[in-house]
Amino acid sequence: MAYVAVKGGAQAIEASIRRLKFERLKRGRVLGVPEALAGLRSLIDQVMSEGSLYCEALAALAIKQAEGSPEEAVFVLRAYRSTLPRKYYSKTIEPQAMEVERRISASFKDIPGGQILGSSPDYTHRMLDLTLLDESDVSVGLWLREFTALPAATAGNEAASLRALPKVAQYLREQQLLPHYLPDDTPPADVTKQSVQFPTTRSQRLQMLTRGQTGAVTALAYAALRGYGGQHPTVGELRVGQVPVYVDDPLQAEAADGEAYYLGQVKVTEVEALVVKSAGKNAQKKSLTFALGYGLCLGQNETKAIAMSVLDQCLEAGDPQYPTHNEEFVLMHIDSVEATGFISHLKLPHYVTFQSKLDSIRRTSDRLAEAAKECAP
């Protein structure tokens, strides 16, 4: 494809950048990073997940720079991420050790440890709250003091129990309704450092799904539920909370019992979705069991994590009659940076290629006109 330079482009580009800054500042107010951190929690979690970099402050800065555009914010955050040295890989995170903030199941009413509603807009009326127009730092301070003065919902051993809640999937495994899998310690291929080749491994698919654009992942999962994927799972368990991150001692990395260093906690959303699956070689011996679709995203990102679990099970099934089972179709079209970049490239000068198309259309039109004249009586 041919592109051509535009004369005087440097001055025009400089003027465009200055105009962009003007549009961000023309109201005479500055959106500070602390304000973004205070009020844009969901957007920050989305940008961290798609940018695959867990840092709320940097995500807030990217959102400020992008004027609230998630795609642009993810672009600049990934660009910054690419400059960082990669010194260590953490040990495998164990969601079983999550300090749970929210935990629900759509499969069972009563689950060990109980349903924990936590923080979610699911139970609100979703009507425009005009009282927020009068919200101030003073009113917020008063509300926070009242809220923190309330009796704690959990204390003592109850709080400790939120760090080791049993999995719903384990209950089904004990009932022989969900397969047991042997641990696979194969090091995962890092999709940010190695080009993806098809067919992919499951670790690659999960990485690309969790980095995928939230809207794209949700749309494809919705398509799968509507008949373009043959899937309609039930959420076995959705949990949101903090998981600890450890790194092996670099001097004892080869030792099986080497010391590990605690780095801190990250908030994640984990979903295990259940799909009914047939087992057996023929109709007489065919039985039914459950298969598990998995989703895990940085931050509280519930819709995306559920959608990810749907697509995970679609890609595991790999039925060629459904487009959402085609891993290349799904994985190559959900990436925010790739999709935005390719669509945006259409704004570049295509003068040469378009002129070629225009000449071709004109020649065809001229030939058709001449043919019409020859056939005229």
Enumerate the H helices of the chain as residue ranges.
9-25, 33-39, 41-51, 56-65, 70-81, 137-149, 157-161, 168-174, 202-211, 214-223, 302-317, 327-331, 336-344, 351-375
Task: Classify burial at 81, counting beta carbons within 10 Å of its beta carbon; exposed 0-12, middle 13-18, buried 19 or more.
Answer: middle
Task: Give the pLDDT score at 1.
Answer: 45
Q: Which residue type occupies 157?
A: N
**Per-residue pLDDT, 8:** 60
Say if residues 55 and 48 touch (Cβ distance below 8 Å).
yes
Residues 6+ apart with CB under 8 A from 303: 214, 218
Below-50 pLDDT ranges, the chain: 1-2, 154-157, 160, 283
Segment 195-203 long-range contacts (CB within 8 Å, at least 24 positions apart): 196/331, 198/327, 198/328, 199/327, 200/327, 200/331, 202/312, 202/316
CA distance 317 to 273: 14
CA distance 40 to 43: 5
Annotate 97-127 with b (16+ C-beta within 10 A) or e (fewer): ebbbebbbbebeeebeeeebeeeeeeeeeee
What's the pLDDT at 76? 97
Structure tokens at 126: 């979703």
Distance, CA of 237 to CA of 273 (rounded, Å): 7
Please give the pLDDT value at position 226: 96
Comparing CA positions, the residue from 335, 266, 337 lying closest to residue 66 is: 337
Please, which residues bridge with residue 292 across strands? Answer: 274
- Contact between 267 and 296 (Cβ < 8 Å): no
The pLDDT value given to residue 156: 40
Beta bridge mates, 247: 261
Chain centroid offset of residue 350 CA: 33
pLDDT in tens, 274-312: 998 876 555 455 677 899 999 999 999 999 999 999 999
CA angle 234, 325, 269 (to 5 degrees): 45
Distant-in-sequence, close-in-space partners of 50: CB < 8 Å, separation ≥ 6: 70, 74, 211, 212, 213, 214, 336
Per-domain boundaries in the chain: 9-81, 95-130+161-334, 348-375
- Return the bridge partners of 266, or none: 243
Distance CA 289, CA 275 (A): 8
Please, which residues bridge with residue 264 across strands? 245
List of residues 6+ apart from 326 with CB closer than 8 A:
320
pLDDT of residue 348: 87
Q: Which two tokens stand for residue 329?
A: 């179709």
Q: What is the pLDDT of residues 77-135, one digit of tens each?
A: 999 999 999 888 888 898 888 999 999 999 999 998 899 999 999 999 999 999 999 99
